[in-house]
Amino acid sequence: MPTEFISMTHTSPSSEILPIPNAPPVDPEYLKKYAATLDDYDFNYTLVPYASAWLDPWTVGATIAASTKKLKIIIALRPNTLPPTVAAKALATLDQLSSGRAVVHFIAGGTDEDQAREGDFLPKAKRYARMEDYIRILRRAWASPEPFDWDSEFYTIKGFSNRIRPFKGDTIPVSVGGSSDDAYRVGGSLADIFGLWGEPLKETKEQIDRIYAEAERAGRKDKPRIWVTFRPITAETDDLAWAKAHRILDILQKQSGPPLKAAVGATAGATPANVGSQRLLEIAKRGDVQDRALWYPTVTATNARGASTALVGSWQTIVDSIVDYVDLGCELISIRGYDNLNDAIDYGRYILPGVRKVLADREADKAAGAGTEAVAAEK
């Protein structure tokens, strides 16, 4: 499948580096403009995030669907927040209303504290086991309108029938993310897409191998598509991009962060509970720059709060860096910056077309080479 691009949904012009005091959490016109910009610049997906104190992703996702024509909407979903039967209908409804543009991304929960805020006290290993059950129920509900029962440790269902079917076929893409053994197991065995945070090429390849091994162990004939996330800081030249990066870093080091930080219960300086953040902080100890342009001071400045690794460089440097990950097998590239709307426009103008051109030129060269070989063989 072709390389595709993901952005994160932003609902307000307030951002990490340009906070607007007392700004409302959602500006409807800004949200529609931001989503339309992603659509216009040929982003393929937008992720609608989740935190216990943050906006309802379903309502935001429906607004995006009504404001766009092509953009696929990835709803972040914690299994504790909605019964799987209700989620099956909600996702199928969004898929119908958007003509097949719904995707679901499962979150086991990064901290016990934020799970507890919504009444979920399962330990993390149990949360992944529940997620596995949840995904299987969704797929059963989408596969057929016939009533079915379910009886497991986490869910008991009697005679559920789902007559709201996905727009195309009998399923909706399911994504799982994480860097723990449980995440690899559940995502490798069940997910259509597996999400990773931006790590160096070596570590990314090791994680991909783990995911693929779990897929093979589960008897799959296919493999999850790999999604990797970065925060590119880019400009016309490398020097301008690095100057911009250090300005952003200075702001990050001085500020407490966006409202989402408080919503997820992040504590400055505390060791993060999730394995992904722990991995990022360990890698950061090796040096500021990894590989071609992967920059880690943004990780330490935010204590690895969410996706925090930057790519720094000119438009061409960022293109080349992303292509390095495509060559590893990463088919979905998530990029979001720090000046949300303006960065999305820059990516749409320079990064997305740049990556697509490199990959298209490669395919053309392969086709030309294959044609030359065929002619030689005939002679």
Question: Using the 8-state DSSP alphabet, how is residue 130 labeled?
Answer: H
**Per DSSP, what are the bridge partners of residue 312?**
233
Residue 262 has pLDDT above 50, yes or no: no
pTM equals: 0.94
Q: Residue 374: what pLDDT?
A: 65
Structure tokens at 132: 């596995």
CA nearest neighbour of 333 among 318, 314, 316, 317: 318
Helix ranges (DSSP H) in the chain: 28-40, 57-67, 84-97, 112-117, 124-143, 181-190, 201-217, 238-254, 259-264, 275-284, 297-301, 315-328, 340-346, 352-378
Residue 201's contacts (CB-CB under 8 Å, 6 or more residues apart) are 291, 324, 325, 328
User: Across residues 312-339, what is the average pLDDT?
Assistant: 98
Contacting residues for 108 by C-beta, under 8 A, at least 6 apart: 78, 79, 124, 127, 128, 131, 178, 182, 183
Q: Examine the pLDDT at 258 and tell me if it is beyond 60.
A: no
pLDDT-derived band at 369, boundaries 50, 70, 90: confident
Written as one string, the DSSP assignment of 208-247 is HHHHHHHHHHTT-SS-PEEEEEEEEEEESSHHHHHHHHHH
User: Residue 356 above 80 pLDDT?
Assistant: yes
Tokens of 259: 């409202």
pLDDT in tens, 140-194: 999 999 999 999 999 999 999 999 999 998 999 999 999 999 999 999 999 999 9
Q: What is the pLDDT of residues 16-64, one digit of tens each?
A: 999 999 999 999 999 999 999 999 999 999 999 999 999 999 999 999 9
User: What is the mean predicted confidence (pLDDT) over 224-247?
Assistant: 98
Q: What is the mean pLDDT of the chain?
A: 93
Position 44 scores a pLDDT of 98
- Chain segment 84-107, per-residue pLDDT in tens: 999 999 999 999 999 999 999 999
Structural domains present in the chain: 4-378 (3.20.20.30)
Is the confidence at residue 264, as pLDDT, over 80?
no
At 261 the pLDDT is: 45
